[in-house]
Amino acid sequence: MQKAENTLERDTAFEMATSNIRYGKGITAEVGMDAADLNLQRVLVVTDANLAGREPVAVVRQSLDDAGVEHELFDRTRVEPTDASFQEAIQVATEGAFDGYIAVGGGSSIDTAKAANLYATHPPDNFLDYVNAPIGAGKPPPGPLKPLIAIPTTAGTGSETTGVAIFDLVEMEAKTGIAHRRLKPVLGIVDPDNTRELPPAVAASTGLDVLSHALESYTAIPFDSRPRPERPILRPAYQGANPISDLWSLEALRLLATYLPRAIGDTDDEEARGQMLLAAAFAGIGFGNAGVHLPHGMSYPVAGKVRDYRPPGYDVDHAMVPHGIAVIVNAPAVFRFTGQVNPGRHLRAAQVLGADISTATEADAGQVLADRLIELMQDMQMPNGLQELGYSSEDIPTLVEGTLPQHRVTKLSPRSAGAEELTALFEDALRYW
């Protein structure tokens, strides 16, 4: 009897949900026809000020004009969005009475469009109603959203495939997010032409975000170790590692190991740029269903509490830790910590990334993977740990405090990490070489 009760307490299902993806050189010009085929008459094009006057946005606007689809441009997306920048877009979306959305840009623009769509379509009583618990109420959207087409211009977040929107909650000085399958774009248009102008520093940071997405989803807790939800709609978007997500995550790692160095070394390498866009989408499908864990959970306060750091290669007017950097500076420390739980997966991931595991034992798994990550960080000229971002040991209690509420991701770690463990992880992440 006890065995049956225990079985009922655990979930036995995982759900595979992702956007439709179209890949190909030059296909951004098809978006007007897509909008027309969706019977959209008035759409909001969401982008940022840096992209507003550049070719990807120009191609989208011309395509909409050619298809007879009325549109308005919102170009005030903030790189690394905040609750305030989300609410500015939400206000425009609410007042504009749009019947669809097109996001052109990196994860910041796509996530902003998701939030604008959600809040304009189903206005909540309180902004935090949809925000992930325990920071917000974590309520699911009460119904479908308007169609959203996402057109990524960076090979990083994979946001074109997921139902997740991440932002800085300024009052808490920490990142959090909104996650539900109904936020997913109806279509992701993955066009290598749109990453031609991506600076090498941005390509490196976003590429390492792809790396961490794939690694974290592959090493997350198994899907059947979660509690069973009361209703299917309450099954989380981040469900834990599962057989389908594993395939996408491992293939993303393989592509990344081959093509990220090429994409950074030569911005004219069209094959490398295209394959990195595919890697980002593949990793998005993997983590969008399996989830991420401690490197992302720890990254949110690292990004949210930044004081003075300005990343090389980014055209920003405020202190900022790009998401890929905030994640990767924690990753070696985390995988050293988690390697003992599922060493086979850690060794397999290290091997796919190019590490020699021929003499490695299971006891070496975490260190082997961490060493390979550090080599990649050095090759990509990433900051040498948290110290280069302006943090010291004195900041660690604050970083721990900002990580503890990130249950949506931290609870997916294969090895539990409370305040004591997080303190040790942040100490380890201060400097690597």
Distance, in Å, from the CA atom of 170 to the CA atom of 81, rounded to the nearest integer, reads 10
Dihedral over alpha carbons 34, 165, 350, 269 (to 10 degrees): 40
Q: Give CA–CA dist 409/294, Å, rounded.
A: 7
The count of other CB atoms within 10 Å of the CB of residue 5 is 8
| CATH fold of 20-195 | Rossmann fold (3.40.50)
The pLDDT value recorded for residue 3 is 43
What's the token pair of residue 264?
A: 């950074």
Bridge partners, residue 178, by sequence? 165
Q: Return the closest-CA partner of residue 205 out of 251, 162, 157, 237.
A: 157
157-175 pLDDT, tens digit per residue, is: 899 999 999 998 888 777 7
Considering just the CA atoms, what is the radius of gyration of the chain in Å? Answer: 20
Compute the distance between CA of residue 16 and CA of residue 244 in angstroms, rounded to an integer: 8
- Sign of the CA dihedral with 270 first, then 275, 278, and 280 last: negative
User: Which residues of the chain have a pLDDT value below 50?
Assistant: 1-6
Residue 347 token pair: 């060794």
Asked whether the beta carbons of 164 and 283 are under 8 A apart, the reply is no
Q: What is the crossing angle of helices 419-428 and 396-403, to 10°?
A: 130
What does the alpha-carbon distance between residue 411 and residue 414 come to, in Å, rounded to a whole number?
A: 8
Phi, psi dihedral angles at 227 (to 5 degrees): -70, 150
DSSP 81-135: -BHHHHHHHHHHHHHHT-SEEEEEESHHHHHHHHHHHHHHHS--SSGGGSSPTTT
Please give the model's pTM, rounded to 2 decimal places: 0.90
Report the pLDDT value the prediction gives residue 214, as an integer from 0 to 100.
97
CATH code linked to domain 200-428: 1.20.1090.10
Location of each CATH 1.20.1090.10 domain in the chain: 200-428
- Which residue's entry shows tokens 């834990």? 240
Give pLDDT, residue 8. 59
Distance CA 246, CA 241 (A): 7
What count of residues does the chain have? 433
Question: What was the pLDDT predicted at 4?
Answer: 43
Going by C-alpha positions, the residue among 329, 300, 292 that lies closest to residue 402 is 300
In the chain, residues under CATH classification 3.40.50.1970 are 20-195
Q: Is the peptide bond before 134 cis (omega within 30 degrees of 0)?
A: yes
State the residue for tokens 């309520």.
Answer: 139
CA distance 378 to 383: 8
Q: Summarize pLDDT for 101-120 with one digit per residue, the tens.
A: 999 999 999 999 999 999 99
Classify the C-alpha dihedral 67-53-209-377 as positive or negative: positive
